[in-house]
Structure formats: structure tokens, C-alpha cells
Structure 1
Amino acid sequence: FVRSGADLDAEGKQKLRKINEELSMLGLNFSDNLLKETNAVGLVIVDERDLAGLSEDVIKAAAEAANAKGYEGKWIFTLQKPSWIPFLQYSEKRDLRQKLFTAYVNRGNNNNEFDNKKIIARVAALRVQRANLLGYKTYADFVLERNMAKTSEAVYKFLYDIWEPAIKRANMEVADMQAIIDKEGGNFKLEPWDWWYYAEKVKKEKYALDEEMLRPYLKMENVLAGAFNVANKLYGIKFIERKDIQVYHPDVKAFEVQEANGKYIGVFFADYFPRDGKRAGAWSGGFRYQSNIEAEFISPINYNVGNFAKPTADKPSLMSVDEVKTLFHELGHGLNSLFANTTYPSARFSPRDFVELPSQIMEHWAMEPVMLKSYARHYETGEPIPDELIEKIVKSSKFNQGFETVEYLAASFLDMDWQTLTDTVERETAQFDRNTFNKIGLIPQIESRYQSTNFGHILGGYAAGYYSYLWAEVLDSDAFQAFKETDLFNKELAAKFRKYVLSGAGEGEAMDWYIQFRGREPKVDALLINRGLN
């Protein structure tokens, strides 16, 4: 209550109320603008020759998308990831890759009615006012007080400690790709819109592996069954599809979740395909949260949302490895909600830099060979994924980690720079971004994962908190190592994880919960090894 302004005098409460109201409206406007920009058509192709390099599946999906939006006889690519990423990976048309990538990066920064530059600057200024009113120097001070990191200095140190090995690894990746460009006679330097295309070539050259070899084995329904199977092996729970439960869209499926003995836990909705009006990305949430007030136990109703490639007329939804990990990730959040066991809804506050532990640990099981054998089956023949493909996946697991870590860290620095402002001057947003990226030494071949105008996380609850994904990765890598050292499906460990991490039964602060599960504080070693940064 104090953090919400309970100790302020009447004048202070009125000021805070006005600030909160304006922040709320700005957040809605920002999200609405970003949704419209993301759902826009990024590229229209008229000449079939401009489809060179794209797979039959990608071409067919682009044609169906074009027909759905009134572009009959053409092909369109939107700014949703299932559409633009395959284009950047495989299109031989460098100028079109640049056009589509630039459209994606510039979402919210097109000087049109959906421009977000002034909104983000105003939000930052209002957050400083709000923090000052509540007795804090910066908005980051206000947020981090309740997190594991505690201070902005600790966050910056954490980010810089990872930045150095990550940028070193990224420069090595640049050299590998530039070597291919030069070998092919390309008279140009690698640019951000080239990264996906040449990364695929490096992967094929080094590991004889590309994304399209794996997709036929990653049918969405099978992947979901695999994720449910992990939950069953760890916790004994069952997901039973219920076609009699009303859903809010025909694409959505409903499941009843039960304990091993059949005891009811809650309801889980799976909503995995993009549609007009649905925002981009993936997330987990609840229609109802668990509570037990005056011995009246209320069960949770959870939903997982994704934007995976929709089935076409003759093929099911076939996923990329990243999408598989995303599905497992969001189910981890779902389990956190379904296993809750507290008196009041959301009674236990989970720090932002701890809350991703339940989701990110699930990603580790997704690519374990024993799990791949169980769910990765060819959508036409039903044959399990061959051992040689699994071996290639394992060998390539550290591939492109320099890029992935650097683009993520750049966005994390950008978030922190906005939230550590100490004055209410409304910055010029594009210049603010450039200042951040120049300060940290972001290399020109990589763009930040987000720019301020499309950084929905920092308007949607992750302000001074985007670093938390990597902070939590230290935890999840160390936690999963406990299973690797004993048994992937160690039920005793799983019971501890459910009790102290997922259900809300742990005592003390977040670090105490982790220690009650693991027996010690986390170590960074497993993360560095997993990302190839050691």
C-alpha cells in the first residue's frame, strides 16, 4: 500500500492519481499502435521470381495470407515472426530482405498516426515524477527494490559481465558469415538484414543442418503433447482435452488438468495461432487465479497464447526449434499458475527476475534427446526423428548464441537507460536509442531485439525488468543441472521444485525459495556453458 501512495498527503495522492491515469492511457495507446504496426503488411510480392530461395511451404503460406487480405494472385509477408523470419532466412533477394527487416525494426517509428516516439518519452518522464513522489530517485530504484537484483548498479554489472564474452562470440559469428559472403563473390559487408540468411548458410556448412530439415518433425500438436508429457513425468499430472468447455475462438483448445489420482487442478486453454486483432508474441495469463479464502478453494483457469504458423490447406502447423522452446516456456508459466496454493490470489509476490525461472527451465527438456524421440515425429509418416538429426541439434545448440545474447542485452541496456533517468525532460527517442547502443558498443551487424518504439515489454510490466530473462537463466540453467546430475525426471527434485518454486510454499525471499529447492545459491557456470560463452 505504501508503494501505491498510501502515505502521501491528499495533494500527493491527487498528483499520483493523475500520473497513473495518464500512464495508463499512454500504455493503451502504445500497445494499440504497436499492434496495428505489427499486423501491417511488410512486403507485397508480385513477381514470382522474387520468391527465389523460399520453400514451398513459405510460398504457400504467403499466398494464403495474400488471399485473406485481398491481394489475390500475390504473396505477402507480414511483420509477425512466423512470416518475416523464414523470408529473412531463405530469400535470395537481398534488397527485399532489407525492406522487410527495416519495416519490422521501424514499427512505431514511421511518423504516422501509429508513431510511438512521443509516447515512450512522455512515459519515461512521468515515471520519474511518480518515483520522486513516492520517495525514489529513479523509476528503476522503485522497481528493483523488490527484485533479487535490488539495485540498478547490480543490474548493469550483471549485463556488462555477460556483454564482454557475448560481443566477442558475436564478432566470431560475423567473421564466419563474412567469409561465406566473400567466398560467394559478394561485394558487400554483412548487414543486420543479412544475418538470418547467412547464419543458415553457416549452420548448414558447419553442422549440415537447416531449419527446414527439422520442421516436418515438429508438428504443433505433437510438440504440445510432448510438453504435457514432461509435466506428467515430473509431477504426475494429466491434461485431458475437453471439447464441451466453451472457447473464445475456434482455434483455441481447452484442457482439464488433473493430479495423478484424478483430483481436479484447473483448466488450461491453448491459443496458438495468429489472427487479426491479436497482438504479436507469446504469453501466459489467467481468467481466474487460485485462492483459498475461508477454506473455499478456488481453482485456476490459465491460458497460453502463441503466434505459431497456422496450418495450410494441405499441411499442419510445423514449428521451428525456437517456437518449440516458446511453447514449452509458456507452459512453464501455466504450471506456475496451475500449481498455486495460497490463501489469496497472487498472495506471494514473485520478483520479476525470479518469475521467469518456472518457464525457462521447461525449455531445457524440450531439446533433450529422450524427449525429442518421444514427440518429434514426421507429420506424414509418423517416424521418430532420426538419431543423426538429434545429434546435429545437440552439436549446433550453441550456434548463433553470440547474436542472440547481444541483441537481447542491447534491449536490456535500453530498458535500464530509460528507467534510470533522474529528470523529467522528454527525450528525442531515436537519438536516445542511438546513444545507448553507441555507449555499449553494439556492432553494426546486429540490431537490438527491440527499439524503444516497439519495446512492448517496458510498457507492459517489464520496465527495469527486461534483464530478468537472463538473470532467471542463471537460475534455470543451474536448476536444470540438478536434474542432469541425477535423473531428468527426478520426482523428488520435481516435488521440491513444485513446492518451493511453483506453488508458493517457500518461505522468505526469492533466493531463500531457490535454496530450499537446490540446497545452495545458484552458480553462473551452467549458463555460460549452455550459451558457449565460457
Structure 2
Amino acid sequence: MKPYVKAIICSLLISTTSCKDNQSETETPHLNNEAMSTNLLLQEWTGPYNGVPAFDKMKVSAVKEAMETGMTLGLKDIEAIANNPEAPTFENTIEAFERAGKELNRVFAYYGIFSSNMSSPEFRDVQSELAPKLSEYSSKINQNTALFQRIKTVYKNAQKTPLDSEKQRVLELIYKRFEMNGAELDDAKKKRYAEINKELSSLYTDFANNVLHDEENYITYLEKDQLGGLSQAFIKSAAKIAKDNGEPEKYAITNTRSSVDPFLTYSTERKLREKVWDNYYSRGDNGDAYDNNAMIAQILKLRRERVELLGYDNYAQWRLQDRMAKTPENAMELMMAVWPASIARVSEEVIDMQAIAKRMNDDIIIEPWDYRYYAEKVRQEKYDLNSDEVKQYLQLDKLTEALFYVAGRLFNYDFKPVEDGTVPVFHEDVKVWEVTDKSNGKHIGLWYLDPFARSGKRSGAWATTYRSHTTFDGPETVLASNNSNFVKPAPGEAVLVSWDDAETFFHEFGHALHFFSSTVAYPTLNGGVRDYTEFQSQLLERWLSTDEVINTFLVHNETGESIPKELVEKIKKASTFNQGFATTEYLASALMDMKLHLADPETIDVDSFERKTLAELNMPKQLPMRHRTPHFGHVFSGEGYATAYYGYMWADVLTSDAAKAFKNAPGGFYDKALSNKLVKYLFAPRNAMDPAEAYRKFRGRDAKIEALMRDRGFPVSTEE
């Protein structure tokens, strides 16, 4: 994403911990010419593959100067466009806007790494100082009257005499973005709008850092007699983590999902399960200096005030106008169509678990820290399927090969490892591959993989780009990365992951393929519509279950033997198992996100609102939301998913419907004709085409919800 569009929309679409604006409304930072020549973060990328970031040489001490200089240069570019004496045209206004601020864009690549992959107390101090400055910088662009008038003139001219489709699309997106961000407000409202964004930027940074603090500082240490039920691979990894943390005689359960989930699934120590569960779900909610509840209330108030300046009733109404859902009512309608079946399935799952507990002579009532443990017992009993047995066939290295196989079959891509030392990396765990087109050997880009959890790395899994594909100023190749938080194994041990984690690995790679397959000319078109961009990655998850992947890449960790057909059949039969849990924990978070932003924020008590809302939804007491409000980073460490977390469900309707098309195709999931349509209409256009139109071109019709309900094993009231 180019820096100006990035700076303008980062506070709205992405975590503002990794992109903001940097300068006050009344003072422009002095241009430091020396910084341009000596600060590594500002310099053009050199080396192989059309230039690559110097990740091995970046230093936190260079960040502040680089950001401030980059923003100064950026504003000079903007002023040159705004004050151009020539009549506004697409070329001298929109294209100029698209190419502006290249220095800042380079800095953002490093800034994102420091924020997400290599955070430190030193960087967080810099980040907190920069956040309000970055917000002010963004406001100077959003509220530049002369710039917007030029954009508006080009836009109005194009309404009379349309441009070609791609130019028309980028023009409309840029115009709409300025309009949504207050470009036409009067001066007093613009001033307040900018003040709100500045305050929000600091709140977002503080929110994210509070969560990171609780992830880093709540570690549960086990003694040797507290390891019941845990696999040897997990125990070895936990021992290494404890040793690295100065506890060589103990075993560490870190406060991240990749460590917590397997512990809750297999540990026989119920009180320890409760402790680990409580640590994880209490992130940002411990009543201390790192508690996020009051901060969330303030964020909600400021968001409401900001959209009221624009004439909207609530934040959700403003946010969803350019999404596929269009309105919060449409998003709620979809979620509530699924919710009753979801919680009904939870009730069935709890009955099964309670029966298992009784047969085990466990005199308990199922609590949230019991759910995964007894669900695994039910899985073994109902389907004779042991998740740990399946895990032995899910080696990270082999799954990586499977990703490349699928990319080769569908996209005609070849992935070749880059020799160590050829491309700079920011940590020894990071590996790099070159991506080429198999038909002609054309270089497409580089794929970086940062797979392991570590201190200073945010939790979860995500994909990002350091450079995106564009052609309007000459072809740019892609630098994309996938980032995970797998627990690093003991030396010599393979990385074994759960089926869910394997699906997530495929999911994030789907984002990378979306980046690599781009054919758009302009940076803005590499952006996306939030309730659509998850569709492509969710769809790629389906290839994990194809026979070609299962029979070739799922081999036993120790014996090297392929996964038995009998075990594969068990996996497939159990595909709808525990869907009550999976759907409900997600939907509860999505519903909470929407309801928080529809509520009156003036007197909101976040903690009581969360409890009251869950009670009104009849949320089963045996499980929590996937993301409780105090650590809901998707929504409160930025605005990327604010009132948009429902988008995963919206995208999953498309996913199930599209998967049905592949299932029915002559060549199945590797059908050549359908694969070509997949790439042509669903991946390559990025945001150059309206998502609804793109899907209709692929499928021949709009998506239907029935396929999703069937995929989850829920009742379907109508025929497809």
C-alpha cells in the first residue's frame, strides 16, 4: 500500500500501532537532509530481487527521525499536488497522489516489523510518541482543502466522461475515502475531527501495548508432577521456554493461544487449566495499570463523536457504507441467522461432555476451562479420533510444501528457497522463498515466513506486504510475509501443529497468494473491502482437506509413513464436530463488536455491558468469546475490524458457496477451468472490481447461506 493512502486509512483499516501520522497541525517538522542520506530506514532498497529492505541493519534508534523526515517529505509531495497551477487531471492529481511519499512507505515496512514482530520497551516508547504525530499527519492530508477540490474536480469530470474501469475505480475509492474522513467539513469540525483522531491514535497504541504486556508477563510454570496428559513434544518445548526464561527446572505455559490451547485440551490438571484459562482470557482486564476497560469506553465515545460530525447516527452506520454488508442491520441479520443454531449445538456438545465426565467419575459441572479437555474426550469416543494422533502427521515443514503444491496447481507458482544471507531478515527464524511463474520463469516476488512465537511478537497469525504489485510507474514485484506463533520446538524436534492451526496456516497463505496474484496498476487497488478480503484466505483452507494434500504431505513425524486412510476418514467424518464451540466463540465476539458500536457510549460500563449483552444473547456459560472485549485487538488497537469482525462470517458464506462449486466441478478442487476463474475474478483483481460483481462473474450468481449451514452441520430450512 502506498504511504499516503496508507497514512490516511491506517487509522481506519489497520492497527494504528503500525501506521499513523507524524506532525502537528500548526508546525511542519524541519526537513533533515542529513537524515535522508544517513538514515537507513529512509533509503531506497538495494540488492537482489528489485531491492529488499535491510531488515538485518534496522535499529529502533533510527525510527523517530525516519518517520518525521518521511512525513515531511510526504507533505511536500501533497503540497505539490494541491498547489499545481495546471487544471486537475487524473494524471496530475490521482496518479501523483498514488506515487507520493515513497520515503515514508519504506519506513513503514520497518515500523511494522518493530510493532508486530520485534517489539521492545524502547520501541513502545517511540511508538507512543509518534502515534499522535502520525494522526496529525494524516489529518493534514485528509483535510487539505485544495487537494480535495482537485480530487473532487477529477471525480465530477469522470462522472460525465468515465475513465477506463481501473482508473474509474481508483478515483472513486480515493474520493469516497476523503469524503468519509471529513474532507467537506467546515473548519471548526475539521479541527475537532483531527483532535479526535489524534487522541484515538494514542489510545490504540496503549491498548495494544497493554495486551502485549499481559501476554508477556503472565507465564504459568509447571513442576514435573503437573505434566499429566501433555505430549512429549509439548513438554520438551515447555521446558525450553522455561529454561530461556531462567527457570531450568520447570515447564512454561506462555500466555498465547498456541501454548494455551493445547494445554487446555490435554492437561489433566483441572486447577491449572483454570489458572491458564483465566490468565489468557483476563488479558487487559486485571484492574491494574494495564487494564483496558476505561480506555475502550473512551474509544467508543470518541468514535461516536467523530462520525456524528459527519452526520451519522453511529460508528457502524458510517463504517459499513462501503462494505459488502452496506448496513449494520444486514450484518446483524446474517449473524442472527446463524446464532440460534450455533448455541443450540453448544447445548448438545455440553451434554455429550457432561456424560463423558460422569463416565470418568469426574464430579464436575463443565466450565470454560473444561470445554477443550472434554470435547477432546468426546471426539475420541464418537469418532475414535485423537487430535494428538492427527498432530503427528501435521509437520510444519511438510505443510509448507503443501502450500507450495497448491499454489503451483492453482496459480502456476513455483517457490524456491533463497540461500541464507542473500536476503536480509530481522530474526534468524525468518526464512525466504523466491516466487516465480512456472510457465515462463518470471519473477513474481519474495515470500518471508516468520513462524515462531517469541517475546515482543504480537500473538496470532497474520499476513502483510512490504511491497505490493503495481504497474502504473513500471512493474513492482511483491514482498509478502506470513507470520505465525507456533511454539518453537526443542532442538532436533519437528514442529507439529493441530488441524486448526494447519487450517490457519493455509488461511494466511491465502492472503499471500492474494498479494502475489495482483494484476492492478494502482496502489489503492491493492486494498480491500474488509468483509470480502477474508474470503480468499478462508477458501484456501479447503485445500488442506483435498486428497492430493492429505496423501502426499501428511506423513508421520517419526516413521515417515503416510497418514492411514482410516484416520483420514475419521477426520472427514468429524468435520462438523465441535462447530457449536467454534461458531459460538467467534460469533459472540462479532456480535459484541457490533452491539458496542450501536450502543450509547456516553455512560457505558464496558465490563457490565459485556456481561449484560452475553446474557441477552443466551451465551452458553461453558465458553467465552474468542476475543473478550478488553483484549479485542482487532477492534480496539486500530479500526481495521471495528464493526467489521462479522466479516469473517460474511466471507465464510462466500467460502462455503464457492467450495461447493469446486466440489461439483469435473476436476474437483483442482479443476483447471474453475481454478482459472478463481484467479481471474477472485484473486487477481484485488479491489479493482466491486466484490459482489467479481463473485457473480466467478459463480454465475450471488452466494447463498445454505452451504455454510451445511458445512457446519447446522439445520437448513430451505433448499439450495
Deviation of the 1:435 alpha carbon = 1.4
Residue 382 (structure 1) aligns with: 560
Secondary structure of the corresponding residue to residue 577 of structure 2: coil
CA offsets 1:42-94 (integer angstroms, 9 cap, x no match): 32223x22212222222221111110111121112111122111111111111
Gapped regions of structure 1 (runs ≥ 5): none
Q: Which amino acid aligns with 1:512?
A: E
Equivalent residue, structure 2, for 1:498: 679
Q: Is the 8 A contact 2:525 2:687 kept in 1?
A: no
Given the alignment, which residue of 607, 612, 622 partners 1:435?
612
User: Could you tell me which residue of structure 2 aligns to residue 291 of structure 1?
Assistant: 470
Query: Any conservation in 1 of the 2:392–2:496 contact (CA below 8 Å)?
Result: yes
- Segment of structure 1 superposing worse, 328-337 or 374-383: 374-383
The offset of 1:262, in angstroms, is 0.8
Name whichever of 493-502 and 271-280 sits farther off.
493-502
Please point out which of 489, 495, 498 is paired with 1:320: 498
Offset of 1:441 from its aligned partner?
A: 0.6
* Separation in 2, partners of 1:185, 1:506: 56
Which sits farther off after the overlay, 361-370 or 327-336? Answer: 361-370
Matched, 1:482 2:658: no
Match of residue 241 from structure 1: 417
* 8 Å contact kept, 2:308–2:314: yes
Any idea what SS the aligned residue of 1:298 has? Answer: coil
Larger helix proportion of the pair: 2
CA distance in 1, matches of 2:544, 2:693: 28
2:704 maps to 523
SS in 2 for 1:114: coil
Number of residue pairs aligned between Structure 1 and Structure 2: 531
Structure 2: gaps spanning 5 or more residues: 1-177, 716-720
Structure-2 residue corresponding to 1:106? 282
CA shift at 1:349, angstroms? 5.0
Instruction: Tell me if the contact between 1:309 and 1:319 (Cα under 8 Å) persists in the aligned partners.
Output: no
Whichever residue aligns with residue 387 of structure 2, its letter is E
Contact persistence 1:309–1:318 (CA under 8 A): no
Q: Which residue of 1 aligns with 2:583?
A: 405
Shift of 1:20: 0.7
2:258 to 60, 67, 82: 82
Superposition deviation, residue 218 in structure 1: 1.0
Opposite residue 497 of structure 1, the aligned amino acid is L
Q: Percent identity?
A: 38
Secondary structure of 1:415's aligned partner = helix
Query: Which residue of 1 is the match for residue 433 of structure 2?
Result: 255
- The verdict on how the C-alpha distance between 1:93 and 1:157 changes in structure 2, with shifts beyond 3 A counting, is same
Preserved contact between residue 63 and residue 75 of structure 1 (Cα < 8 Å): yes
Q: Distance in 1 between matches of 2:414 and 2:343?
A: 43
Residue 286 of structure 1 aligns to a residue whose secondary structure is strand
1:415 & 1:456 partners in 2: Cα distance? 11
Other structure's SS at 2:325 match: coil
**Amino acid corresponding to residue 122 of structure 1 in structure 2:** Q
Measured in 2, the distance between the counterparts of 1:436 and 1:384 equals 48
Q: CA deviation at 1:424?
A: 4.2
**1:369 corresponds to which residue?**
547
Query: Which aligned pairs between 1:175-254 and structure 2 lie closer than 5 A?
Result: 175-243=351-419, 244-254=422-432
Q: Give the C-alpha shift of residue 427 in structure 1.
A: 2.0
1:139 and 1:246 map into 2 onto residues whose CA distance is 42
Residue in 1 that maps onto 2:212: 35
Paired residue for 2:194? 17
Check whether the contact 1:325–1:363 (CA below 8 A) recurs between aligned residues. Answer: yes
* Residues 158-190 of structure 1, C-alpha deviations (whole Å, 9 max, x = no match): 111101111111110000000111222222211
**Residue identity opposite 1:14 in structure 2:** K
Deviation at 1:505, TM superposition (A): 6.9
Is 2:461 the partner of 1:282?
A: yes
Give yes or no for contact 1:506–1:516 (8 Å, CA) kept in 2: no
Deviation at 1:401, TM superposition (A): 0.3
Q: Which residue of 1 aligns with 2:529?
A: 351
The alpha carbon displacement at 1:350 in A equals 2.6
Distance 1:307 1:467 in 2: 24
Question: CA separation in 2, counterparts of 1:358 and 1:455?
Answer: 23
The Cα of 1:382 is off from its aligned counterpart by 2.0
Q: What amino acid does structure 2 have at the position aligned with 1:265? A: I
Distance 1:197 1:232, change over 3 A: same
CA distance in 2, matches of 1:339, 1:254: 18
Residues 242-251 or 221-230, more deviating: 242-251
Distance 2:197 2:478 in 1: 29
Matched letter for residue 468 of structure 1: G
Cα distance, 1:508 vs. partner?
5.0
The structure-2 alpha-carbon separation of the partners of 1:512 and 1:87, relative to structure 1 and needing over 3 Å to count, comes to same
Asked if 1 retains the 8 angstrom alpha-carbon contact of 2:434 and 2:446, the reply is yes
Q: Does 1:448 align with 2:625?
A: yes
Q: Name the CA distance, whole Å, in 1 between partners of 2:605 and 2:538.
A: 35
Pairwise CA distance, 1:419: 1.6
Structure 2 CA distance, aligned partners of 1:218 and 1:125? Answer: 46
The amino acid of 2:418's aligned partner reads: R
Q: Contact 1:341/1:503 (CA < 8 Å) preserved in 2?
A: yes
1:45 to 219, 222, 226: 222
Give the Cα separation in 2 of the matches to 1:262 and 1:58: 41
Does the 8 Å CA contact 1:302/1:334 hold for their aligned counterparts? Answer: yes
Give me the whole-angstrom Cα distance separating, in 1, the residues matched to 2:698 and 2:608. Answer: 45
Aligned 1:135-146 pairs, distance under 5 A = 135-146=311-322
Within the alignment, does 1:133 sit opposite 2:278 as a pair?
A: no
Distance 1:498 1:328, change over 3 A: same
Aligned to 1:265: 444
Task: Give the superposition deviation at 1:39.
Answer: 2.3
For 1:211 and 1:37, the matched residues in 2 are separated by 29
Is residue 507–residue 513 contact of structure 1 (8 Å, CA) maintained in 2? Answer: no
Bigger mean CA deviation after superposition, 18-27 or 179-188: 179-188
User: Given residue 682 of structure 2, which amino acid in structure 1 is its aligned partner?
Assistant: V
**Structure 1 segments (4+ residues) deviating >3 Å:** 505-508
Residue 509 of structure 1 and its aligned partner are, at CA, apart by 2.2
Contact 1:413 1:436 in 2 (8 A): no
Alignment partner, residue 306 of structure 1: 484
1:348 to partner: Cα distance: 5.6
Amino acid at match of 2:187: A
Of residues 143-152 and 340-349 in structure 1, the stretch that sits farther from structure 2 once superposed is 340-349
Return the alpha-carbon distance in structure 1 between the equivalents of residues 688 and 247 of structure 2.
Answer: 58
TM-score by length of 2: 0.72
- 1:388 CA displacement: 1.1
* Alpha-carbon contact 1:353-1:472 (below 8 Å) kept: yes
1:59 aligns with 2:235: yes
Contact 2:526–2:687 at 8 Å: present in 1 too? Answer: no
**1:477-522 Cα deviation digits (max 9, x unpaired):** 1111111111211122122221211111787521111001111111
Distance in 1 between residues matched to 2:259 and 2:686, nearest whole Å: 42
Please point out which of 328, 333, 347 is paired with 1:171.
347
- The partner residue of 1:463 within 615, 630, 642 is 642
The answer on whether the counterparts of 1:373 and 1:384 sit within 8 Å (CA) in structure 2 is yes
**How far, CA to CA, are the matches of 2:362 and 2:466 in structure 1?**
53
Distance 2:696 2:423 in 1: 40
Other-structure match for 1:3: 180
The answer as to 2:269 corresponding to 1:93 is: yes
Aligned with 1:268: secondary structure? strand
Q: Is the 8 A contact 1:272 1:308 kept in 2?
A: yes
